[in-house]
A and B are shown apart, each in its own frame.
Chain A
Amino acid sequence: MRIYLDHNATTPLRPEVIEAMCAALRDVPGNPSSVHAEGAAARAAVETARERVAAAIGAAPETIVFTSGATESNNAAIHSALAAARPKERRTIVTTATEHPSVSEPLASLETRGWRVVRLGVDRDGLIDPDAFAAALGSDTALAAILWANNETGVVQPVRRLVELAHEHGVPVHVDATQCIGKLPVDAATLGADTLAASSHKQNGPKGVGLLYLRPGATFEPLLRGGGQERRRRGGTESVAGIVGLGVACELVRREGPARAARMAALRDRLWNGIREKIQGARRNGSATAVLANTLSVGLPGAPGDVLLAALDLDGVAVSAGAACHSGSVAPSRTLLAMGLTADEARCSLRMSVGHGVDEAQIDRVLAILPDLVARVRESAA
């Protein structure tokens, strides 16, 4: 039996999600834009999902735009914010040094086209300094883009405070909440962000679907233009079954409430306590308090993460090391480097993230094999 501890990469679908999607694929063949009964049924399925998603993140249904995933949502939010900005006056974007590539890469591209990008550093805990954030905001700032919870370390930024600060300066804020739904309370209305991106497959929904929340009343400049779908905010025929799956996944998040994250935290803490006890030199990367309930980034000096990943994989345990790149090769994590870890410390780090399907027996099994694997990897390089 495989043990899957890589829920920040993606998660298995819940059976309820699979069932709803299969039913949609089988029974809802229409195009939501069509006027006839088949179309109306498809539209109803999409709108039911929208209500469920909205309810899970404390938003009104009409604020939710379905996309192809968080990457599209992030790109679309940045695109729209800058289209609304007056480039002569506001041409600076304030962000952090530990963004996900789906934010940092579009911003780097904009930088080559004349926009100015300010990347705020993080401390050893992975947190940005709100005072430094406030100081970076000015009358020339067009957008602030912040990753709420880091995918590699799970470190959670004080976004509520950061949104307040930005709004005091009249700066709109985009929040990337891809890792958050189901792991911490997400309430879009009280958060006050202008846009918020999230995915489906990080909380047991299908891949290829995501959402973009738009603050009520805000203008929006679409990235994808086409047939006027999603209230003219995202062209393209909706992925009906995918959206239905996302809806059910969010409904489960809402129904389970804080119990879901509490269960994750118990498993994660069991894992960390065992590692700390059994493996000499193990240390935790990033804040132990401002962190997602399910994430453990751990430094194991002398044991390169990519080697340990393969050793664990061969023994049936799936984890992550650094940020996986397209080739399957692993580069030292930019996030860990930004936190002040040395290249060697960053390389000798593992990310383990728990979620649905993981139980205590699996954690204990990992704790039974990991110390020997770490010892073997350490010896081999000695």
Chain B
Amino acid sequence: MSARVVVAMSGGVDSSVAAALMVAQGHDAIGITMHLAGDASRCCSLDDAEDARRVARTLGMPFYVAPYQDRFRSEVMEPFADAYLSGRTPIPCVACNRRFKFHYLLERARALGAERIATGHYARIDTDPETGAWRLRAAVDTVKDQSYFLFDLDQQQLARTALPLGALRKDEVRMRARALGLATAEKPESQEICFVPGGDYARVVEQIRPDAATAGEIVDEDGRVLGRHAGIHHFTVGQRRGLRLAAGERLYVTRIEPEAGRVVVGPEAALLVRTARLENVSWIAGETPEEPIRACVRVRYRHEGAEATIEPDGKDGARLRFSEPVRAIAPGQAAVFYDEDVVLGGGWICREPA
């Protein structure tokens, strides 16, 4: 009998085709939709579960919905809100991947007798021809590449994961969905965070943590008060919109000071930095390099990457030194290290000590 595999099916076109590919490869594939956010959210809502169910039916796969709403709230949504309220710019998708798809779903897969899971992420997994270690690589479709969101997976997780879309372009994925007559073939793309419909982060933060927002001052680098704001969760480093200042020059958020509840603004030049501090650094290969290494570092999802030296610092910290200044590095975002298309690892950007 062929190997049993659990496919994480969100109800979107990508995971639908991932499921189809696993079936076509002869796997004994089981579809599971993780019910994460409440019904109002776009992704993994009940409508999406119904779409996934239709696709599973078309493909002749067993299909189940797994309820994780409570854990998703406490392990993803609340930390997301708390991050904004403490002056950081979080990426909940990384925590969602690590905790839910590559931990809880892997657990559930094992309980169902499946040693592996498959997802619709655009990234590739293979083994290093020299060491035999598992590697995470960017997708062939560089526009869709999602390896950034998977940087903190470990060897065990990679060994038990299949990413069947990594070698395909998005248009090929859609073509396959159409050819197979999958119900999700024409579903629109979404780049949003699933529980932030319309991209209104501040409103979602206020819903998750009512009354936590406190108004404060907007100041310049010299501490001069330029205006007021309704809460630091409205801001991220590099932001210009929503400041509502009457200053002559264009001002950007350069820093957020959560203790003082202050938003610091400055000219665009003040956004450029040459170094950044990282915490909770992880390396795909499992071992921290002993010497500083050079790599291409992406400091946000759509960042094209900047050349930097990574200096390991302590148990799981690191210091980044960029060859050229980099614009708008926001605490809370991930810095992911690449050697060509191979993900070496990454860490979380934290505030420089004052």
* A376 near B110: Cβ-Cβ < 8 Å: yes
* B35 near A380: Cβ-Cβ < 8 Å: no
The 3 closest A-B pairs by CB, nearest first: A380-B111, A380-B110, A329-B65
Q: Is B64 interfacial (CB 8 A cutoff)? A: yes
Within 8 A of A (CB), among B56-75: 62-67
- Interface residues on chain B, number (Cβ under 8 Å): 19
Q: Is A113 interfacial (CB 8 A cutoff)? A: no
Within 8 A of B (CB), among A317-340: 326-331
Q: Is A314 interfacial (CB 8 A cutoff)? A: yes
Please give the distance in Å from A13's CB to the nearest CB on chain B: 24
Instruction: Please report the C-alpha to C-alpha distance between residue A379 and residue B106 in the assembled complex, in whole angstroms.
Output: 12
- Which A residues are in CB contact (< 8 Å) with B26? none
* B112 near A311: Cβ-Cβ < 8 Å: yes
Instruction: Please report the C-alpha to C-alpha distance between residue A326 and residue B53 in the assembled complex, in whole angstroms.
Output: 13
Instruction: Please report the C-alpha to C-alpha distance between residue A219 and residue B226 in the assembled complex, in whole angstroms.
Output: 76
Instruction: Please report the C-alpha to C-alpha distance between residue A259 and residue B112 in the assembled complex, in whole angstroms.
Output: 38
Q: Is A310 interfacial (CB 8 A cutoff)? A: yes
Known pairs A310-B112, A314-B112; A328 contacts B53 (CB<8 A): yes
Q: Is B205 interfacial (CB 8 A cutoff)? A: no
Please give the distance in Å from A42's CB to the nearest CB on chain B: 37
Q: Is A135 interfacial (CB 8 A cutoff)? A: no
- Which A residues are in CB contact (< 8 Å) with B65? 327-329
* A327 near B35: Cβ-Cβ < 8 Å: yes
Please give the distance in Å from B9's CB to the nearest CB on chain A: 12
Kindly identify which residue among A314, A326, A330 contacts B113, using a CB–CB cutoff of 8 Å: A314
* Interface set of A (CB-CB < 8 Å, partner B): 306-308, 310-311, 313-314, 326-331, 376-377, 379-381
Tally inter-chain residue pairs, CB-CB below 8 A: 50
- Which B residues are in CB contact (< 8 Å) with A329? 35, 49, 65-67
- Which A residues are in CB contact (< 8 Å) with B64? 306, 310, 313, 328
Please give the distance in Å from B214's CB to the nearest CB on chain A: 34
Given contacts A307-B108, A311-B113, 15 further A-B contacts (CB under 8 A): A306-B67, A307-B111, A308-B111, A310-B62, A310-B112, A311-B112, A313-B64, A327-B35, A327-B49, A328-B63, A328-B64, A329-B65, A330-B67, A376-B113, A379-B110
* B112 near A307: Cβ-Cβ < 8 Å: yes
* B67 near A376: Cβ-Cβ < 8 Å: no
User: Which A-chain residue is minimally distant from B4 (CB atoms)?
Assistant: A314
- Which A residues are in CB contact (< 8 Å) with B46? 326-327
Within 8 A of A (CB), among B106-145: 107-108, 110-113
18 residue pairs bridging A and B, Cβ less than 8 Å apart:
A306-B67, A310-B62, A310-B112, A311-B112, A311-B113, A313-B64, A314-B113, A327-B46, A328-B65, A329-B35, A329-B49, A329-B66, A329-B67, A331-B67, A376-B110, A376-B113, A377-B111, A380-B111
Q: What 0/1 pattern do residues 28 to 57 of B give for CB contact below 8 A with A?
A: 001000010000000000100110010000
- Which A residues are in CB contact (< 8 Å) with B49? 327-329
User: Which B-chain residue is minimally distant from A343 (CB atoms)?
Assistant: B70
Please give the distance in Å from A307's CB to the nearest CB on chain B: 5
Kindly identify which residue among B50, B53, B62, B111 contacts A381, using a CB–CB cutoff of 8 Å: B111
- Which B residues are in CB contact (< 8 Å) with A326? 46
User: Which A-chain residue is minimally distant from B114 (CB atoms)?
Assistant: A314
Kindly identify which residue among A307, A313, A330, A379 contacts B62, using a CB–CB cutoff of 8 Å: A313
Within 8 A of A (CB), among B211-252: none
- Which B residues are in CB contact (< 8 Å) with A380? 107-108, 110-111
Instruction: Please report the C-alpha to C-alpha distance between residue A262 and residue B332 in the assembled complex, in whole angstroms.
Output: 64
- Which B residues are in CB contact (< 8 Å) with A328? 49, 53, 63-65
Please give the distance in Å from B66's CB to the nearest CB on chain A: 7
Instruction: Please report the C-alpha to C-alpha distance between residue A329 and residue B46 in the assembled complex, in whole angstroms.
Output: 9
- Which B residues are in CB contact (< 8 Å) with A307? 108, 111-112
Please give the distance in Å from B157's CB to the nearest CB on chain A: 15
- Which A residues are in CB contact (< 8 Å) with B35? 327, 329
